[in-house]
A and B are shown apart, each in its own frame.
Chain A
Amino acid sequence: MPDQKPETVRLTIDGTTVAVPKGTLVIEAARRVGVMIPHFCYHPKLKPDANCRMCLVEVEKMPKLQTACSTPVAEGMAVRTATTTVDDAHKSVLEFILANHPLDCPVCDQGGKCDLQDFSHQYTPTTSRFTETKRIFQKEYFSPLIETQMNRCVQCLRCVRYCDEIMDVKALAPVGRGTMTEIKHFGPHELDCEFCGGCIQICPVGAITSRLSMYEYRPWMLKRADTICTFCGDGCRITVQTKDNELIEVNSAHGAGRNNGDLCARGFFGFHASSHAGRLTHPLIRREGALVETTWEEALEFVAAQALRLKLAHGPDAFGGLIAARCTNEDLYVFQKFMRQVIGTNRIDSSARYGHLNGVHALRRVQGTHRWAIAFEDIVAANALLLVGTNITETSPITGLKVKEAVKKRQASLVTIETLCPAVDTLSNISNLATQHFTTHPEQFGNTVLGLLKAVVDGNLVDAALAQQSPAFVQRVTTALNGTSWDVLEAATGQTRARWAETAQLLATAKRLVVLVGNGVLRQPGAEATTTNLLDLLILLGKLDQPGCGLGPLAEENNDQGAVEMGAVAEFIPGPVPLDDQPARDRITAVWHEELPRTPGASLTEMLAAADKGSLKALFVIGENPVGTLPAAAQAKEALAKLEFLVCQELFLTETAAMAHVVLPAGSYMEKDGTFTNSEGHVQAVRQAIAPIGDSRPDWEMLSAISVLMGVPLEYGDAREILKEIRSVIPGYGLLGPTPTPPKVDHSTLTRYLDEGSAVDLAARYAVRQVTKPTDAPFTLVFTQTLFHSGKWSTRSKGLLQLQQDGVLSINPSDAAQLGLTDGATVKLSNTRGAITTTVKLRERVPAGVLWFPEHFDGEAKHLAEWTIDPRTQIPYFKLAHVSLAKVS
């Protein structure tokens, strides 16, 4: 967080003295003393444009009225906002703004929350002097989700400026000149952009509105609930607006949450997933081979009875549990407690396994923290940012906005080691803002990072203090890197030593250096090593423990971090601490009044293997769908088919749930209370927005009910009681609430790492990774997240489906040209594991030789993926395939 204290300036607003930081705008200074200066074009997020002229105020010694929104405070300034001159100015400017306005408030969705309405109410008489002909714009179709009513536009350009300054998308164009200026996209084309909803949110009037809720409400009829979005690890605060238990709209107030009111398409338009018609509304039980509806009573009793029976027959380790990191901390906590205490096994895992654990392991090992030692504020305040395999705009859009803010507003240098290359597109592209960009083949992240490390050592950029304190570490690294020649690295990655050298220099000179690691690294083989090496990079530059510096792995799911902290993974109990950490065990035992099991945990893949072998008899699956998400090579379906008992708590009848003996309808995040922990480790409150759909219930409640029936009751009155218990089990957890300070690098861990810990695998970590591409499969296919979908359930959102309803294969135009492919052409992808057909889209941002496919629509395609399991961490990788590509005519 920024360290220097800003200078203070004193001024008076209507006679009241106020002291504010230098550079504050008069309009903000006035707000401090409770004076609201009317405005349209001003928005604290945007650079002042002073175009509406509504905020005119008197400033002593200035002959003309000044716009408060663009005038910075000065020492001794005297501002008057309530004189007749000012009042007249406000009235007259408003009269101008209203002149051409259609005054169609009764049919305007903004009615009741409209700045123009509010100010009119305050300033204008009830009749207008304007009796001329009003300007009329032809109605044009704007986009599937966003509606424009340009007659209502006050031309403040907030939408256009937001789209450019904050989002870097630049999809909106003020077209024409003078009164006839209107906001359009391009020519007669409908809007094609990131659909962040920012223009809707920032429009002070009803000129840009959401079609999802058009004409469905009046703002004062809506009930609001502040909660957290579940579509990625950013953890955005959203306000869900409902009418009669119906989801009407989602928005986010400026200043609210870690997202500061900004959202992405998923957050803004994705909320209907919760009310999708396919939601499970009743418990299902398998009778004569088919799942049929049943009562809660019967379902729960059946589950408890089966569990008791199997536990008696085969022991607790015949059970396994699998939970989605989309669940609340409370669900996750009760789940692991249920498995450990009621069943008595450590064989549990969650979707944090897929990638997030790689980051957690590296952080724990090097700096002794299980989460970021930096926060979003540090990203914004960074002097240099290094992004490695993030595709941040699509995977963590709001963290991406922090990066954009750092670069665009604060002139931070940006280094991107990313697969997507710089190219202007309808979606923003973080590499476009990069000072240095490395277009990196999906399998070359590790080697590209090695190049950077080598440049640091070669360029004598190693921190002097480090060289003195830990000569052995520096020596080990140097020796390892000397073993690799530049030629080899250049050949492997296609990068040049000159660029590495320049970049290393750039990173070394940055006072505040933040490294972000994304799925491109975390969900591919070698992830933990690359992440550890990036921590080494920070160490070598002397920055790891410096203020504002650090590394952050970007979580894929909204509560990946929570799943780890709650101990809902094979290797950790709540904390997270290793299973054998005695003090932690004692602490938990004191709360649970029972010993934790001592048997080893089992990861997802180990559980699948055990099921296949027959040693795992029963599996509790909460919100996870291994059958639907894993490639055929994982043999999930075959393994699960061998189970004696499969229970699923689910929102929808997924492929996995369809195999279950009992399916219990679970409540979505819209229907429950609790907390989520975002990427940076902020624990945030999730609040119920609508009553449960059908008979669904929060996951923890079901587990709690089963536990009672099994005779080991885990009883809680509500989610808050669970959180209380979590806090007693995880020391300091309470302090990590919504405004925590990030944990600091633990120096004893770091010293241990430098002294000897790093040596264990250093040679292997620093070896150039040889990638052999099968010659008959020249393309590298990557399954990725996209901006419009995340996980599997966004595809149940009607809004998001309008933006993207199936998977198309993105391909580099030069590759396409060679194969004679144009947009929409059908191609066949194949390798030894299978073949599929799909359509292509040419995109300059995808580098040659790489194919980009949205994982949310991977259907049969996913079976092409390579399936590898890290023998040590048991992390499975299945997001990449080598394929050949042929045109289908």
Chain B
Amino acid sequence: MLKDKHQAEIDDILSRYPVKRSALLPLLYLAQREEGYVTEAAMQEIAGILKLTPPQVYETATFYTMLNLKPVGTFHLQVCKSLMCALVGSDTVIGWIGAKLGIKPGETTPDKLFTLSIVECLAACGTGPMMQVNDDYYERLTDEKLDRILADLRQTGTSSLKTGPFMWPEPANTVNREA
């Protein structure tokens, strides 16, 4: 039960909204954080917390692509394939990942470590090709960068190649150019 573990966080979330139902997405995120995906039991519990019927939770949960209603791998590789990334090679990136991990989009590696998804624009169009892995962005992907990222993820669960607070061109760059 989410309530047993996260009562304080739930209360905090509820306190932000004058109408309970607004807390639905935050609570679904909480559930997803807990189990890796949104379970049926979680939807039922959230319905109870928000005084909604389970179908009301369900209809909302199924509208949003970031909420997984089925388990995904430890690392959810989501490669953007929208036009802007495609112009700079996102299809190739998908091909690379497929070759390196032996999975097709929508599949998970047998060790349940990686799931590959193809997604639409993630607002990193100037720094494509790019992918999101769980919470982090990885941009300006190249073959060898990808190798490093996958290796890092395997070893440490994260990678230093992820993007920090975003700015492009980078300030240093700007200075250079102006110099």
- B-contacting residues of A (Cβ < 8 Å)? 169-177, 184-187, 424, 426, 432
A613 to B43, CA, bound (A): 63
- Give every chain B residue within 8 A of A184 (Cβ-Cβ): 55, 58
8 pairs of residues in contact across A and B, judged by CB atoms under 8 Å: A170-B53, A174-B59, A177-B63, A184-B58, A185-B55, A186-B55, A187-B54, A424-B47
Determine how close the nearest CB of chain B comes to the CB of A832; give it in whole angstroms: 39
Contact call B58/A186, Cβ cutoff below 8 A = yes
Q: Is residue B51 contacting chain A, with contact meaning CB distance below 8 A?
A: yes
Is the CB of B125 closer than 8 A to any CB of chain A? Answer: no
B59 contacts across to A, CB distance below 8 A: 173-175
What's the Cα separation between A5 and B51 when bound, in Å? 39
- The answer to whether B62 touches A424 (Cβ under 8 A) is no
Specify which of B40, B51, B55 is in contact with A173 (CB 8 Å cutoff): B55
Interface residue? B7 (CB, 8 A): no
State how many angstroms separate the Cβ of A349 from the closest Cβ of chain B: 44
Q: Do residues A187 and B43 form an inter-chain contact, with CB atoms below 8 A? A: yes
B52 near A: Cβ within 8 Å?
yes
Say yes or no for B56: interface residue by CB 8 A criterion: yes
Contact residues in B for A169 (Cβ distance below 8 Å):
53
Which chain A residue has the least Cβ–Cβ distance from B64?
A177
Asked if B47 and A187 make an inter-chain contact with CB atoms under 8 angstroms apart, the answer reads: no
The CA of A173 and the CA of B69, in the complex, are separated in Å by 15
> Once bound together, how far apart are the Cα atoms of A177 and B48, in whole Å?
24
**What secondary structure prevails in chain B residues at the interface with A?**
helix
CA distance A186 to B47 in the complex (A): 11
Instruction: Give the one of B43, B54, B55, B58 with max A CB within 10 A.
Output: B55
Name the one of A170, A176, A432 contacting B55, with C-beta atoms under 8 angstroms.
A170
**What B residues does A185 contact at CB under 8 A?**
55
Q: Which of A170, A187, A426 is the one whose CB lies under 8 Å from B40?
A: A187
- For chain B, residues 105 to 154, give those with C-beta under 8 angstroms from any C-beta of chain A: none
B residues near A426, Cβ cutoff 8 Å: 53
Contact with A along B42-72 (1 / 0, CB 8 A): 0100011001111110110011000000000
For the complex, what is the distance from the CA of A173 to the CA of B62, rounded to whole Å?
10
Q: Is the pair A170, B52 in contact by a Cβ cutoff of 8 Å? A: yes
Q: Please tell me which one of the listed residues A171, A172, A176, A432 contacts residue B62 in the complex, with CB atoms under 8 A apart.
A: A176
Q: Given A424-B48, A424-B51, A173–B43 Cβ distance below 8 Å?
A: no
Cβ of A174: which chain B residues have Cβ within 8 Å of it? 59
Taking CB atoms, residues of chain B closer than 8 Å to A176 are 62-63
Question: Once the chains are docked, how many angstroms separate the CA of A111 from the CA of B56?
Answer: 31
Rounded to whole angstroms, the CA-CA distance of A672 and B56 in the bound complex is 44
* CB-CB nearest in chain B for A432: B51
A432 and B58 alpha carbons, distance in the complex (Å): 21
Cα distance, A175 to B55, chains bound together (Å): 9
Q: Are B47 and A171 in contact (CB under 8 A)?
A: no
What A residues does B53 contact at CB under 8 A? 169-171, 186, 424, 426
- Shortest 5 CB-CB contacts between residues of A and residues of B: A173-B59, A173-B55, A186-B54, A170-B53, A175-B62
Q: How far is the CA of A176 from the CA of B52 in the complex (A)?
A: 18
Task: For the complex, give the distance between the alpha carbons of A184 and B52 in Å.
Answer: 16
Could you tell me the distance between the alpha carbons of A173 and B61 in the complex, rounded to whole angstroms? 10
CA distance A537 to B85 in the complex (A): 72
* Min C-beta distance of A61 to chain B, whole Å: 36
State which of B51, B52, B56, B58 has its C-beta within 8 Å of the C-beta of A187.
B58
Q: How far is the CB of A603 from chain B (nearest CB, A)?
A: 45
Q: Which of A172, A175, A176 has the most CB of B within 10 A?
A: A175
Q: Please determine whether B52 and A424 come into contact, CB atoms closer than 8 angstroms.
A: yes
> Are A172 and B55 in contact, CB atoms less than 8 angstroms apart?
yes
Q: Which residues of A contact B58 (CB under 8 A)?
A: 173, 175, 184, 186-187
For A186, what are the chain B residues with a Cβ–Cβ distance below 8 Å?
Answer: 40, 43, 53-55, 58
Residue of B nearest to A187 (CB): B40
A171 with B55: in contact, given A187-B40, A424-B47 (CB under 8 Å)? yes
Task: Other than A175-B59, A177-B63, give 4 A-B pairs with Cβ distance below 8 A.
Answer: A170-B56, A171-B55, A173-B62, A424-B53
Expressed in whole angstroms, the minimum distance between the Cβ of B123 and any Cβ of chain A is 20
B40 proximity list for chain A (CB < 8 A): 186-187
| Smallest Cβ-Cβ distance to A191: which chain B residue | B55
- Least CB separation from A174: chain B residue: B59
A171–B52 CA distance with the chains assembled, in angstroms: 10
Nearest A-chain residue to B59, judged by Cβ: A173
B residues 74-131 near A (Cβ < 8 Å) are none
B55 partner residues in chain A, CB cutoff 8 A: 170-173, 184-186
**What chain A residues lie within 8 Å of B47 (beta carbons)?**
424
Most chain B beta-carbon neighbours within 10 Å: one of A171, A187, A432:
A187
